[in-house]
């Protein structure tokens, strides 16, 4: 085989030109980097502060691992301290498990707000104190001012003020040993006047109906007291407060004296002396009798009995920490979060009054 000398020369020239070509490419890259560095320096002189987006920081941080740290100051437009600060922030964000909290009191749950507005809509005569008591009785603790603010922001005006005297606590230290009685009169649809004898226990706020009649004579009142004591134990009570009405005879007093109570007569024309009993009579009128047309004696007895059952088991009272009497006698409800529970409502007395329970 004959070799061409010219082909061999050309091949040797190509092999010798390869290092020169690689050298020129390296010089070109270095020159390009020098140009970019100079442009960067010019820009840094013109712009006092450059703001980097998170994506820019991530890209620069990734490239920094390919360049020796001693060259960072010449290449990157930031100082090594800035790099370290970025890295500390990234580490802190990665291992930060705390939830950001807004300053101040945490907002009220939407379910609680909805329930407050529901109670206000279904019970137009309830004010913010009454609604606050209902929430407390259900087991949810909330500030009274929070209830007022929610109603005020929703444009719901306060319940109308009730007329009548103001009440003071009467014999607070002996409240648990006191019971009081008084008559409540009701005019029926046929304009017949009926009388109901009501008893209230000061300590527990529990109310009792002793009887209903159209002719409250002395013998009827005494017999009503006997019937009540046959079914109820009030031996722990020490005092009975009553007014000076003609229906309360010596025979009536003797029934309670025999049970171990001391009868105390209030001064003439002094309703404040029996303020607790006057207050429950006002409550009966506002919440029940002013919105109910009574037909006869049987209807009044049935209506009062059903309402007093609600009064003793489901109605909160400010005097016993916004609890119902049955709750105060046992123990307060366990605190719950209303946002995680459903509240069921039940209408009684034909929808005149609503009771609420936590769904089981």
pTM over 0.85: no
Q: How far apart are alpha carbons 107 and 117 in whole angstroms?
A: 16
Q: Are 347 and 249 contained in the same domain?
A: no
Q: Count the domains in the chain.
A: 3
Q: pLDDT tens across 298-336, in order?
A: 999 999 999 999 999 988 888 788 888 888 777 777 888
Residue 47 located in a structural domain:
no
Q: Are 205 and 275 contained in the same domain?
A: yes
Quick one: pLDDT at residue 73? 66
3 state DSSP class of 142: coil
Query: Is the pLDDT score of 75 beyond 70?
Result: no
Q: What percent of the chain has pLDDT over 90?
A: 26
Query: Is the pLDDT score of 201 beyond 80?
Result: yes
- Sorted by sequence, the CB contacts under 8 Å of residue 169 that are 6+ apart come out as 175, 319
Residue 122 located in a structural domain:
yes
3 state SS for 320-342: HCCECHHHHHCCCCCCCCHHHCC
Q: Are 176 and 291 contained in the same domain?
A: yes
Quick one: pLDDT at residue 26? 65
Q: Are 177 and 312 contained in the same domain?
A: yes
Residue 191 located in a structural domain:
yes
| 208 phi and psi angles, rounded to 5 deg | -135, 145
Query: Is the pLDDT score of 8 beyond 60?
Result: no
Tokens, residue 86: 């970025």
- What's the pLDDT band for 234 if we cut at 50, 70, 90? confident
Q: Are 75 and 1 contained in the same domain?
A: yes
Query: Is the pLDDT score of 162 beyond 50?
Result: no
Range with the largest mean pLDDT of 16-25, 56-65, 134-143, 267-276: 134-143
CATH of the domain at 270: 3.30.420.10
Q: What percent of the chain has pLDDT over 70?
A: 72
Structural domain boundaries enclosing 79: 1-38+70-83
Query: Is the pLDDT score of 166 beyond 50?
Result: no
Residue 322 located in a structural domain:
no
Q: Single out the residue of 181, 179, 124 nearest to residue 151, CA to CA.
A: 124
Q: How far apart are alpha carbons 261 and 61 in whole angstroms?
A: 89
Quick one: pLDDT at residue 97? 67
Residue 57 located in a structural domain:
no
Q: Are 148 and 251 contained in the same domain?
A: no
Query: Is the pLDDT score of 220 beyond 90?
Result: yes
Q: pLDDT tens across 79-130, in order?
A: 667 766 766 777 777 777 666 666 667 788 888 999 999 998 888 778 888 8
Average pLDDT value for the chain: 80
Query: What sign results for the dihedral spanned by CA atoms 58, 63, 64, 70?
Result: negative
- What's the pLDDT band for 203 if we cut at 50, 70, 90? confident
Residue 166 located in a structural domain:
no
Quick one: pLDDT at residue 103? 67
Q: Are 240 and 145 contained in the same domain?
A: no
3 state DSSP class of 213: strand
Residue 90 located in a structural domain:
no
Tell me which of 175 and 184 has the higher pLDDT. 184
> CA dihedral defined by 255, 280, 235, 238, rounded to 10 degrees?
-80
Quick one: pLDDT at residue 48? 66
Q: pLDDT tens across 348-359, in order?
A: 888 888 988 888
Q: How far apart are alpha carbons 239 and 259 in whole angstroms?
A: 11
| 15 phi and psi angles, rounded to 5 deg | -65, -35
Q: Are 242 and 184 contained in the same domain?
A: yes
Of how many residues is the chain composed? 360
Q: Are 185 and 284 contained in the same domain?
A: yes
Residue 226 located in a structural domain:
yes
Q: Are 270 and 309 contained in the same domain?
A: yes
End-to-end CA distance of the chain: 105
Helix H segments across the chain?
A: 5-46, 54-64, 72-75, 80-94, 110-122, 128-138, 144-153, 218-231, 250-258, 275-287, 297-313, 325-329
Average pLDDT over every residue of 37-61: 69
Tokens, residue 27: 């010089």
Q: Are 29 and 6 contained in the same domain?
A: yes
Q: Are 20 and 140 contained in the same domain?
A: no
- What's the pLDDT band for 270 if we cut at 50, 70, 90? confident
Quick one: pLDDT at residue 106? 77
């Amino acid at each position: 085989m004959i070799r061409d000398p010219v082909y061999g020369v050309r091949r040797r020239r190509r092999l010798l030109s390869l290092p020169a070509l690689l050298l020129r490419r390296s010089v070109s890259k270095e020159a390009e980097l020098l140009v970019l560095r100079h442009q960067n320096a010019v820009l840094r002189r013109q712009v006092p502060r450059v703001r980097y987006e998170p994506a820019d920081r991530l890209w620069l941080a990734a490239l920094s691992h390919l360049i020796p740290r001693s060259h960072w100051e010449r290449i990157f437009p930031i100082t090594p301290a800035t790099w370290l600060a970025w890295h500390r922030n990234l580490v802190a964000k990665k291992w930060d498990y705390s939830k950001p909290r807004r300053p101040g009191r945490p907002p009220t749950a939407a379910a609680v707000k909805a329930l407050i507005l529901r109670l206000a809509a279904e019970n137009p005569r309830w004010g913010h104190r009454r609604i606050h008591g209902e929430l407390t009785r259900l087991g949810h603790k909330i500030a009274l001012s929070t209830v007022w603010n929610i109603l005020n922001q929703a444009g719901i005006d306060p319940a109308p003020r009730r007329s009548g005297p103001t009440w003071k606590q009467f014999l607070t230290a002996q409240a648990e040993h006191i019971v009081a009685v008084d008559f409540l009169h009701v005019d029926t649809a046929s304009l017949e006047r009926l009388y109901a004898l009501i008893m209230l226990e000061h300590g527990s706020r529990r109310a009792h109906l002793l009887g209903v009649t159209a002719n409250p004579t002395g013998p009827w009142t005494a017999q009503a007291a006997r019937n009540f004591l046959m079914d109820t134990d009030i031996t722990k009570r020490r005092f009975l407060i009553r007014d000076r009405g003609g229906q309360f005879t010596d025979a009536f007093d003797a029934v309670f004296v025999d049970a171990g109570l001391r009868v105390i007569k209030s001064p003439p024309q002094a309703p404040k002396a029996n303020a607790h009993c006057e207050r429950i009579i006002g409550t009966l009128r506002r919440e029940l009798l002013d919105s109910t047309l009574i037909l006869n004696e049987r209807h009044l007895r049935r209506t009062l009995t059903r309402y007093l059952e609600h009064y003793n088991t489901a109605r909160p009272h400010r005097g016993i920490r916004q609890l119902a009497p049955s709750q105060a006698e046992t123990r307060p409800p366990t605190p719950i979060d209303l946002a995680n529970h459903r509240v069921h409502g039940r209408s009684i007395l034909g929808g005149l009054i609503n009771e609420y329970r936590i769904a089981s």
